[in-house]
A = this chain, B = another copy of it.
């Protein structure tokens, strides 16, 4: 039996080995162009105690910023997207929300100044594991500290500060971007007028964690991953391809697949084979091929982990606040390092920082762990910060990664907090999680309506 799918992986490895005599770098090192760079030259403390001595954010903008800087919309990306949401003179390639942004479109560039960034931890121009650690001039690799969705958002707001943008018209995002969108409102409620969160959640549930876990495991099992230190070697292209195949199942397995692929085989007259054979398999193979050199494997690990850890519950925010308070002290005392902080804090120091509120929440966390009702109240308490912000929550009924009950949960919690301006839509799209990229009219109208309604 022939195994062209296995040969193909080996051939790519060989090609890499040959290219090391002055050959090209893996393409994720800079696949896009035409973005601007925000440079932050101060140490930046992360939620889990890591410190970036400095960082950069790649961003792109569309539409004019008005004089009082009140028409800005911060657009957050999904896991693997760059800041290139739409084409522009510096990069004419269509962006990932090409048909949603523009004059008269869902996000109307005649009215709004749209800013889209690549996240901290990513690989499309912002500081991430493939960036150079100033300490030794080598890529961070897995020396990069653990980042959270909140860290990504906090970095974005440092950039907004530098731009002089005090208040956003809206925080908008889908998938991981929808998490960021909510997180931004939690951190900076007075700086955001409206929130849009599409196909996202207030906390990751075990099935989605499981799906991302297998992607990370598959990637880390590729011997070329080399514990993250592959930047001058053969990258783990085969692990990345496999991870993307798994991811694609979770992004796109709506009823669309029944119609589009059904049980069709790519070469119906041949004997069945163990490599890609059915059309759906060829499709997955193609998605894996496209992605395997496009995105930095270490970024996939860090950014997908950030999604897993996402939880807007009050007790989690309180814990994080306590941890940050401790680590801020350490940073001020010059004890910080870019490695995650595991060391125990001396009791007297802890005493000094911890306030009774935080302690109470901390205790509550342990109590609620096994009680769904208490967990929901914890989440409501966490989301109560958003009670005065008009918020659009949008879900797709065929989404298996962020199932619609998760968006309903956010909407219900927000309403429970007394928010009278929650809009909640469910779409019956057949595209699953990816619907936010494809349903230009259904998703677009909801976005436009929410952004423009006085």
The stretch of A111-119, A173-181, A278-286, A349-357 that contacts the partner chain: A278-286
| Nearest B residue (CB) for A250 | B249
| Nearest B residue (CB) for A248 | B210
CA of A342 to CA of B273 in the docked complex: distance in angstroms? 11
- List chain B residues, Cβ under 8 A from A225: 6
CA of A375 to CA of B258 in the docked complex: distance in angstroms? 12
With both chains docked as a complex, state the minimum distance between the C-beta of A312 and any C-beta of chain B, in angstroms: 12
Residue among B204, B257, B272, B276 making CB contact with A207, cutoff 8 Å: B257
- List chain B residues, Cβ under 8 A from A217: 5, 242, 245, 285
- List chain B residues, Cβ under 8 A from A3: 142, 220, 227
Contact A9 B221 (CB under 8 A): yes
- List chain B residues, Cβ under 8 A from A207: 249, 253, 257
With both chains docked as a complex, state the minimum distance between the C-beta of A79 and any C-beta of chain B, in angstroms: 15
- List chain B residues, Cβ under 8 A from A364: none
With both chains docked as a complex, state the minimum distance between the C-beta of A256 and any C-beta of chain B, in angstroms: 9
Residue among B216, B249, B264, B375 making CB contact with A214, cutoff 8 Å: B249
Residue among B258, B281, B339, B369 making CB contact with A213, cutoff 8 Å: B281
Residue among B49, B222, B284 making CB contact with A210, cutoff 8 Å: B284
CA of A399 to CA of B53 in the docked complex: distance in angstroms? 48
How many monomers of this protein are in the complex? Answer: 2
A165 at the interface (CB under 8 A from B): no
With both chains docked as a complex, state the minimum distance between the C-beta of A365 and any C-beta of chain B, in angstroms: 9
With both chains docked as a complex, state the minimum distance between the C-beta of A130 and any C-beta of chain B, in angstroms: 16
Contact A223 B220 (CB under 8 A): no
With both chains docked as a complex, state the minimum distance between the C-beta of A95 and any C-beta of chain B, in angstroms: 28
Contact A274 B142 (CB under 8 A): yes
Contact B221 A223 (CB under 8 A): no
Contact A246 B204 (CB under 8 A): no
Q: Mark A1-38, 1 if CB is under 8 A from B, else 0.
A: 10101100100000000000000000000000000000
A383 at the interface (CB under 8 A from B): no
A143 at the interface (CB under 8 A from B): yes
Contact A263 B340 (CB under 8 A): no
With both chains docked as a complex, state the minimum distance between the C-beta of A163 and any C-beta of chain B, in angstroms: 31
Q: Given A246-B214, A274-B142, A311-B263, is A220 in contact with B6 using a C-beta cutoff of 8 Å?
A: yes
Residue among B206, B214, B222, B274 making CB contact with A263, cutoff 8 Å: B206
Contact B218 A218 (CB under 8 A): yes
Contact B209 A280 (CB under 8 A): yes
Residue among B242, B276, B340, B341 making CB contact with A221, cutoff 8 Å: B242
- List chain B residues, Cβ under 8 A from A284: 210, 213-214
A305 at the interface (CB under 8 A from B): yes
- List chain B residues, Cβ under 8 A from A246: 214, 246
Contact A214 B227 (CB under 8 A): no
> Which 6 pairs, one residue from A and one from B, show the smallest C-beta to C-beta distance?
A206-B280, A206-B257, A271-B340, A207-B253, A206-B261, A213-B281
Extra pairs beyond A210-B253, A213-B281, A262-B370 (20, CB < 8 Å): A5-B220, A49-B271, A146-B271, A203-B263, A204-B263, A206-B263, A206-B280, A207-B249, A210-B249, A210-B284, A213-B245, A213-B276, A214-B245, A218-B242, A221-B222, A246-B246, A259-B372, A270-B342, A271-B340, A272-B305
Chain A residues packing against B (C-beta within 8 Å): 1, 3, 5-6, 9, 48-49, 142-143, 146, 203-207, 209-211, 213-214, 216-218, 220-223, 225, 227-228, 238-239, 242, 245-246, 249, 253, 257-259, 261-264, 270-272, 274-278, 280-281, 284-285, 301-302, 305, 308-309, 311, 339-342, 369-370, 372, 375, 400
